[in-house]
Amino acid sequence: MSDHAQTSRQKQDFEQTLESSDSSVAQFEHKQRNLFDSVQHFLHGNPTMVPIIVLVFSIVIFGFVAGAKFFSPFNLSLIMQQVSVIGILAAAQSLVILTAGIDLSVGAIMVLMSVIMGQLAITLGVPAPLAIAIGCVGGIAAGAMNGFLVTRIKLPPFIVTLGTWNIFFALNLWLSGAQSIRSQTLDEIAPLLKFFGESIAFGGARITYGSILMLVVFGVLWYILNHTSWGRHVYAIGDDKEAAELSGIRTNRTLIMVYGLAGLVCGIAAWASIGRVGSVSPQSFQEANLQSITAVVIGGISLFGGRGSIIGPLIGALIVGVFNSGLRLAGVDVLWQVFAIGWLTIIAVAIDQWIRKVSA
């Protein structure tokens, strides 16, 4: 190796200037933070704290406004029941939004798969467990189709899922003949389809299996996202797809799997929805797509991808449930529930934007 002893060649002006320049190594300064910065940094590191704080505050406030009725075990377990289906859909939606995508078709996949489960079990006499399994596999196929169109045909997720939302809705009406399958029919032929509507009585609370299923789905997804390489890749892709690609991640393959997994969760939600509604209704959950996005956004997951915890949307769904329940118990007109959720969504995104601006 050649050593860098001074050589005889003449130095040029700009090189001589360089000699006298500061050659000390960069120091990383610790600048004073004010309270505002500290809060911003704390929230940046703990993105789920905002929804948790909102949830706690709303429970306290509605407890005061609506009185003891609100805190009854029955009412609290009812909130869990009411949010269970949207909660599970929000889990599916979160996966896609974490990759900086959006899935407008989650509700349509769910209703289509519930119709497929119902028609197979009731009209065609397929054993209920098989009908449920086919519905879940159908969910994977529907999701993977979204993923294929997004990654291979390179269409924006918004457009792809707007299209498939309509396609799945039309298929649902065609397969069901726009007819519901009644509760009694389900009880006679395939009671298993209504499994998640059953509940355990616990004090005054009625905890449905559907509520427990929601918690299990979130728990499993939390594990996958935080404790497997695949989960870390999902975050990396949402953060910066090109960087993820250069780091050696097969981004398109992972993305198709994300949409497929979201589809599977929609299939599971389909089973839960039959239990929740008590029948198979092709007209149910028409606004589920948008409600799932609301829960995700209130839960602090960034629509720009790569940021937020999967636990956030669970809290987000519960916040919506608490608002609806509290306002109803307080005797407020239902339109103000919608009004309040609208503002909550906007505020949640504003907070996300502010947190994202954090600097060192």
Residue closer to another protein by CB (options 142, 249) is 249
Q: Check binding of 45 to another protein (CB under 8 A).
A: yes
Residues touching another protein, count (CB under 8 A): 44
**Between 15 and 333, whose beta carbon lies closer to another protein?**
15
What are the strands, taking DSSP E only, across the chain?
Answer: 199-202, 205-208
Q: Does 20 bind another protein (CB under 8 A)?
A: no
Q: Is 89 helix (H, G, I), strand (E, B) or coil?
A: helix
Token pair recorded at residue 360:
């060192």
Distances (CA, A) of 53 to 58, 315, 319: 8, 10, 10
Question: Helix or strand or coil: residue 316?
Answer: helix
Of the candidates 358, 245, 341, the residue with the CA atom closest to the CA atom of residue 292: 341
Pairing between strand 199-202 and 205-208? antiparallel
Comparison of 148 and 230: residue with beta carbon closer to another protein: 230
Kindly state the tokens that stand for 165. 């939302």
Burial letters for 231-268: b for 16+ Cβ neighbours within 10 Å, e otherwise? bebbbbbbbebeebeeeebebbebbbbbbbbbbbbbbb
* Neighbour count for residue 324 (Cβ, 10 Å): 18
Distance CA 288, CA 311 (A): 19
Using CB under 8 A as the binding rule, whether residue 24 contacts another protein is answered as yes
197 binds another protein, rule: CB under 8 A? no
Instruction: Give the closest residue to 120 by CA, choosing from 186, 168, 183, 184.
Output: 186
Q: Which among 89-97, 123-131, 273-281, 352-360 is the span making contact with another protein, rule CB under 8 A?
A: 352-360
> Taking contact as CB under 8 A, which single stretch among the options 5-13, 205-213, 272-280, 328-336 is the one that binds another protein?
5-13
What residues between 213 and 252 interact with another protein by CB under 8 A? 223, 227-230, 232-233, 235-236, 239-240, 242-244, 246-249
CB of 124 to another protein, least distance (A): 36
Q: Is the distance from CB of 79 to CB of 302 less than 8 angstroms?
A: no
Does 307 sit near another protein (CB under 8 A)? yes
2 belongs to the binding site for another protein (CB under 8 A): yes
> Counting contacts by CB under 8 A, is residue 4 touching another protein?
yes
By CB under 8 A, residue 15 contacts another protein: yes
The reply on whether position 21 binds another protein by CB under 8 A is: yes
CB of 248 to another protein, least distance (A): 4
Residue closer to another protein by CB (options 4, 331) is 4
Residues that bind another protein (CB under 8 A): 1-2, 4, 7, 9-10, 12, 14-15, 18, 21-28, 41, 44-45, 223, 227-230, 232-233, 235-236, 239-240, 242-244, 246-249, 306-307, 358-360
